[in-house]
Amino acid sequence: MRYTLIIITVLSLLTSCSHGSKKVKEPQAKPNVLFIAVDDLNTWLGCLGAYSNAKTPNIDKLAERGILFSNAHCQAPLCGPSRASIMTGLRPSTTGIYGMVHDDKIRREGNPATQDIIFLPEYFKQQGYHTMGIGKLFHSHAPDSVFDESGGRVKGFGPLPEKRFVWDGFGTSDRKNYGRTSTDWGAFPEKDDLMPDYQSANWTIERLSQKHDKPFFLGVGFLRPHVPLYVPQKWFDMHPIEGIQVAPYQANDLDDIPSVGLQINDLPMMPSTEWAIEHGEWKNIIQGYLACVSFVDHQIGRVLEALENSAYANNTVIVLWSDHGYRLGEKGTFAKHGLWDPATKAPLLFAAPNLPKGKIIDVPVEMLSIYPTLLELCHLPAYEKNEGRSLVKTMLNESQPEVSSAITTYGYNNHSIKSDGFRYTIYEDGTEELYDYSTDPNEWNNIADVAKYQVKKEELKKCLPINSRLWDRHSNYTFQPYFVNQKKRTTGFDIKAH
């Protein structure tokens, strides 16, 4: 008996010594993920300076409890390719997805980059998560069977009045060949609960109130502030016209833009800034946009409150992102569609139990980083096909790249890079733009040909994609003559209506 006690004591001491003075912690449950996507949300937020008196108290509150990237950029200034990039972890130049693509056509044989890709929610499913999603997450909703539980999406961007209020959606465009947009603005409908985003929030809140036996990945994709800029009157009332500040604009701003850039920016179905000035609608359009932002902010607040009151409040990673920015008169129009800051820059926020709170990071980063960042925050193995880099070390101040950069691609071989206080853009024909934000924050003066900037330009050029894949056969953009022509010219394929 005495001999047995001695053996037990010795083994106990050896075990204690092998771990030093630290206690071995029980492995914690994998964190849940709340994945919030907002369509067409630019950086006019309270937490980013409240430009034009933007009112976003719930997004601001989320920024206070986590990390806000103030200089995050999309990989394409159009929802289809941007969301495909986020969900695959691949650049548009790798996949050839430069336009819209049906959710079920992203991953397919015939595209070597995507034929075996694991979508972001699928990766979590493979790691033992219960996956749920509602609303606009991919371009429409999601490919078949991506989510264990899907709430689907209400088709379109309604509800819609019988007649448009202001804009007909055609403008001066070729109606027969290029159709129209849903661009319009005004107070409609009467109540919030008639809006799909309200219903999406309800569905998400219900899932947060349920008991889940597995960690969950819960995605909610909100439609507003995507056009039409319709929300109930009370949201317009929050933004009186007299308090609205218009965006920076110069009538001759496009005089130094190369031909391809002008073609990309030719959006006759959208209201132009000159039209808005002439008809006294500029502030009304901005009011409609801000009203939609405040409405969707409220829906986000409802979801965050439900999480806070749930059993998952202390073990959930939150990410909020938008697929691109939105121009509200900058560079002559009201649209995304461009390789300039107002179109490429969008909010990106992370909140998690072990992340700092109330921190703003100003270096350029990419939406492409969402996939690998979520994996690291959830202590999951890295996915080797991800082309973005995790932002966790940056958020924790463990390391910072010497030069942080963000690349946006719009169509085949049109690339723009934001880095080191500059934006450099090169179009498919080799023409260029260069902007120095220290002297030109509005991107009004193209200095690509100025001698003293040639070294900087060459440095930035080295960071751009070396190879670009031609247009994927199933990726189209029928609203824009330039993209219709570029796809046919470079691949021989006619763009089909998507």
Handedness of CA 410, 416, 418, 421 (dihedral sign): negative
CA distance 28 to 46: 35
**Residue of 350, 370, 352 whose CA lies nearest to 360:** 350
Catalytic-residue membership of 79: yes
First-residue to last-residue Cα distance in the chain: 81
Residue 250: C-alpha distances to residues 20, 27, 255 (Å): 67, 58, 10
Report the SS3 class of residue 241: helix
Task: Enter the tokens of residue 147.
Answer: 């989510």
Mapped to the 3 state alphabet, what secondary structure does 67-113 carry? EEEEEEECCCCCHHHHHHHHHHCCCHHHHCCCCECCHHHCCCCCCCC
CA distance 300 to 304: 6
Amino acid at residue number 324: H
**Residue of 344, 343, 338 whose CA lies nearest to 480:** 338
- Angle of helix 79-88 versus helix 370-377 axis, rounded to 10: 30
411 φ/ψ angles, rounded to the nearest 5 degrees:
85, 170
Catalytic-residue membership of 239: no
How many C-beta atoms lie closer than 10 Å to residue 463's C-beta? 15
- Each residue's pLDDT expressed in tens, for the chain with a length of 498 residues: 433 433 333 334 333 333 333 332 323 589 999 999 999 999 999 999 868 889 999 999 999 999 999 999 999 999 999 999 999 999 999 999 999 999 999 999 899 999 999 999 999 999 999 999 999 999 999 999 999 999 999 999 999 999 999 999 999 988 888 878 999 999 999 999 999 999 999 999 999 999 999 999 999 999 999 999 999 999 999 999 999 999 999 999 999 999 999 999 999 999 999 999 999 999 999 999 999 999 999 999 999 999 999 999 999 999 999 999 999 999 999 999 999 999 999 999 999 999 999 999 999 999 999 999 999 999 999 999 999 999 999 999 876 655 699 999 999 999 999 999 999 999 999 999 999 999 999 999 999 999 999 999 999 999 999 899 999 999 999 888 899 999 999 998 776 533
Task: Enter the tokens of residue 493.
Answer: 């394929």
Q: Are 74 and 325 in contact (CB under 8 A)?
A: yes
Rounded to 5 degrees, what angle do the CA atoms 188, 194, 196 make?
Answer: 105
Q: Which helix (H) or strand (E) holds 335?
A: strand 334-335
Handedness of CA 41, 43, 47, 53 (dihedral sign): negative
Q: Give me the catalytic one of 47, 79, 292, 378.
A: 79
How many C-beta atoms lie closer than 10 Å to residue 67's C-beta? 21
Domains assigned to the chain: 28-406 (3.40.720.10)
| pLDDT value of residue 29 | 81
Q: Are 37 and 298 in contact (CB under 8 A)?
A: no
Report the SS3 class of residue 333: strand
| pLDDT value of residue 487 | 95
User: 219: burial class by Cβ within 10 Å (0-12, 13-18, 19+)?
Assistant: buried
